[in-house]
Amino acid sequence: MPYTFRKKSSYRNMMSYEVNGHPSVTRIETYRMCDPHWLHYLRQSFDGTDEEFNRFVVARLGGAAIRGIGNSSDGRMAFCGDFRWPEDLYQAFVRWLDDEHRVYMNQLVQHREKFNLSFEEYPTLEMTPIPRPIFFNSRSSSFENEPWFQPRTALTAIAMA
């Protein structure tokens, strides 16, 4: 069964997506890069040290983490935090993000044409950068990139679409 994705919610600097087609991954959370003012706001509302802020907030900016369901200690299904990214799931997600952006761009062009608007009156937004696959490393207590990830990984996934 192929993977499917759906936007769920956005809160502060995070966008959440529902994942279907994977046995244990149920959600992807992406964390956008932000300007200095927004980063300052996040720091002011963070209850921890500067070092913890860097490990838990700054390290995940521009990244995407997966969440899902696993087995609890008593054998029941329970929500767990972080999982490691399967490369095929990441590539499918990147292709889906690229497809979603194309649909968005087509809608903007149609809207512009329908109402006879210029680009200046109704500008096109660029696609947000493709997030890198991250996971929470409990040994370092910080978010890190998947070891297999190279920036060209995302571009390869898009080219395969």
State the chain's mean pLDDT as an integer: 85
User: Rounded distance, CA 81 to CA 95, Å?
Assistant: 24
pLDDT value at residue 76: 47
35, with CB counted inside 10 A (0-12, 13-18, 19+), is exposed
pLDDT value at residue 127: 67
* Number of domains the chain is built from: 1
As given in the structure block, the two tokens for residue 100 are 């979603």
Query: What confidence category does residue 154 fall into, taking pLDDT thresholds of 50, 70 and 90?
Result: low
Q: Is the pLDDT of residue 70 over 70?
A: no
Whether residue 143 contacts residue 60, with contact meaning beta carbons closer than 8 Å, is answered with yes
pLDDT value at residue 77: 46
Q: Is the pLDDT of residue 72 over 70?
A: no
Domain range enclosing 9: 4-159
Say which residues have a Cβ less than 8 Å from residue 6's Cβ, sequence separation at least 6. Answer: 17, 18, 20
Say which residues have a Cβ less than 8 Å from residue 160's Cβ, sequence separation at least 6. Answer: 91, 95
The SS3 call for residue 161 is coil
Mean pLDDT value across residues 71-75: 49
Q: Is the pLDDT of residue 86 over 80?
A: yes
Q: How many angstroms separate the Cα of 11 from the Cα of each of 8, 14, 29, 139?
A: 10, 5, 10, 28
Instruction: Render pLDDT for 10-58 as a digit per residue (tens, 0 to 9).
Output: 888 899 999 999 988 889 999 988 888 989 999 999 999 999 999 999 9
Query: What confidence category does residue 155 fall into, taking pLDDT thresholds of 50, 70 and 90?
Result: low
